[in-house]
Amino acid sequence: MAKSSSSAAPRYNFASGPAALPSEVLAEGQEALTDCLGTGLSILELPFSGPDFTRILTAAEQSLRHLLRLPETYRVLFLQGGASAHFAYVAQNLAAPADCAEYVVTGLWSRRAAAEAARYCRVRVVAEGRDAPPPEAVWDRAPGSAYCHITTNETADGLQYHWLPAAGDVPLVADMSADLLTRPLEVERFGLIYASAQKNLGIAGLTLVIVRQDLLHRPCAGAPAVFDYARQAENRSKVNTPPTFAIFMAGAMLRWMERRGGLEALAEENRRKAEVLYGAIDRGGYYSCPVAAGSRSLVNVCFRLPTPDLEARFLAEAAGRGLLNLQGHPAVGGIRASLYNPLPGEAAEALAAFMDRFRRS
C-alpha cells in the first residue's frame, strides 16, 4: 500500500475492495509464503486440519473476539463465497421458505440482498431510504418475522448508518462488509453479522459470519452442507477446506488493528480521513454528494462532478498523480474514494488537495 512508484510521488490505492493493505501485513504474508511460523512449510502448504493451521485459525478468532469484545454467546465462522453468496445463505439458515424476512433497502447492496433472499423465503421491504437510512419509526415491522436485515454501509452509494435500530424480538441481521472493524460496535444488538474480508479484514475469498448461537438450528433446509452455519460452527469452520491463506491474512490484519490501538483509535482516524474529503467536496459548490449530511459514509466517500466528461478527466488526472482506483461502482458511476482502515491519512489529504486544484483548474 502507498508504494512509491519509480518517480518520487507516493501512490495511494482508493479501491473499494480488494483494497489497500498495510505494508507490515503484506510483509507478514510474504514471510509466511516460505516459512510459516517456523514450520519450514509455506502457509499455502499447511494441512487445514493439522495443529499449525488450527493455531492460526484460533488466534485469528481470539483477536476478533478481543477487538469486538465479542460475547461468548456468539460464534465466529470463516467461510467462502463473498457477501453476495451469503445473501442467499442468511435466508436459508435463518428462515424457512414460508417465513417472512424484513429488509431495509438503502442502496444497491441491500436491494441485491433482498432480491436474493426472496428466492428462498418471503421478503418484505419494511422501509426504503435513498439519501439516508429511513428513521426506525417508519419501518413497517411485524412480529414473528425470521429476521430484519440492514446493510450498515452502502459501498456503492456512500451511505452509512450512524445509529443502530433497536433489536426487539426479531433478530437484527447486518451486512457489514465495508464497515465491520472500522469503529466500535455493540455486537449484542445483532443476531448475525456477515462481511466480505477484502475491505478491512484482508483479502478476497473469505467471508466472516458472526452469529448468536441460539439462532443456529440444524438441519439447515436449503444451503449446501458447507454453508450450513450450524454445521460449520460445530466443525470450527472446517466442514471442508477453508481458505487458509485468507484466514492467515485476516489474523495478520486483526493483530495490526490491535497494534493500532483497537477500534476506538481506528474510528478516530477513519473519521478524520472522511472529514478531510467531505470538506473538499463541500468547498466551492463544484462537487456534490448525493447523501444526506448525517448519513454520509466514513469508508466510501461518493461524489459527482458537474458532468460525466469532467468525471472522466478527474479520474485520468488523479491516476496520473498516483491517486488510484477512484471510479465509482459501475452501476452508480461518479467518483468513489474508499477509506478503509489501512488507508493512511496522507492519502485523504493528497486527494483533497488534488480536488481543490482540479476544482480551480
Residue 50 makes contact with a second copy by CB under 8 A: yes
Among 61, 102, 116, 311, binds a second copy (CB under 8 A): 116
Secondary structure in 3-state letters for 325-340: CCECCCCCCCEEEECC
Residue 198 makes contact with a second copy by CB under 8 A: yes
The rounded distance, in Å, linking the Cα atoms of 156 and 133 is: 14
Residue 64 makes contact with a second copy by CB under 8 A: no
The rounded distance, in Å, linking the Cα atoms of 328 and 361 is: 22
The rounded distance, in Å, linking the Cα atoms of 94 and 96 is: 7
Catalytic residue among 157, 179, 199, 273: 199
Nearest alpha carbon to residue 244 among 20, 22, 25, 49 = 49
Among 11, 122, 272, 321, binds a second copy (CB under 8 A): 11
- Residue keyed to cell 507490515: 24
The rounded distance, in Å, linking the Cα atoms of 139 and 37 is: 50
Residue 37 makes contact with a second copy by CB under 8 A: no
Based on the residue annotation, tell me whether 175 is a catalytic residue of this protein: yes
- In the bound complex, what is the minimum distance in angstroms from residue 50's beta carbon to a second copy? 7
Q: Which stretch binds a second copy (CB under 8 A): 98-106, 141-149, 178-186, 220-228?
A: 220-228
Residue 33 makes contact with a second copy by CB under 8 A: yes
Residues 243, 248, 253, 259: what is their CA dihedral angle, to the nearest 10 degrees? 160
The rounded distance, in Å, linking the Cα atoms of 99 and 214 is: 18
Among 84, 139, 141, 333, binds a second copy (CB under 8 A): 84
The rounded distance, in Å, linking the Cα atoms of 138 and 125 is: 12
Among 241, 261, 283, 308, binds a second copy (CB under 8 A): 241
Among 37, 132, 164, 324, binds a second copy (CB under 8 A): 324
- Residue keyed to cell 435463518: 94
Among 9, 138, 142, 225, binds a second copy (CB under 8 A): 225
Measure Cα distances from 198 to 83, 108, 139, 342 in Å: 11, 18, 31, 12
Helix 51-68 × helix 244-259 angle, to 10°: 40
Q: Contacts with a second copy: how many residues (CB under 8 A)?
A: 63
Residue 250 makes contact with a second copy by CB under 8 A: no
Residue 224 makes contact with a second copy by CB under 8 A: yes
Q: Which stretch binds a second copy (CB under 8 A): 30-38, 139-147, 160-168, 270-278?
A: 30-38
Residue 203 makes contact with a second copy by CB under 8 A: yes
Q: Which is nearer to a second copy, 74 or 147 (CB)?
A: 147
Residue numbers 262-301 binding a second copy by CB under 8 A:
none
Among 8, 24, 37, 45, binds a second copy (CB under 8 A): 45
Based on the residue annotation, tell me whether 256 is a catalytic residue of this protein: no
Q: Which is nearer to a second copy, 73 or 241 (CB)?
A: 241
Nearest alpha carbon to residue 60 among 194, 188, 244 = 244
Backbone angles phi, psi at 327, to 5 degrees: -70, 145
Nearest alpha carbon to residue 88 among 167, 139, 149 = 149
Based on the residue annotation, tell me whether 35 is a catalytic residue of this protein: no
Binding site for a second copy (CB under 8 A): 1, 3-5, 11, 13, 15-21, 26, 29-30, 33-35, 40-42, 44-50, 80-85, 87-89, 116, 196, 198, 202-206, 222, 224-227, 239-246, 249, 324-325, 330
Active-site residue set: 109, 175, 199
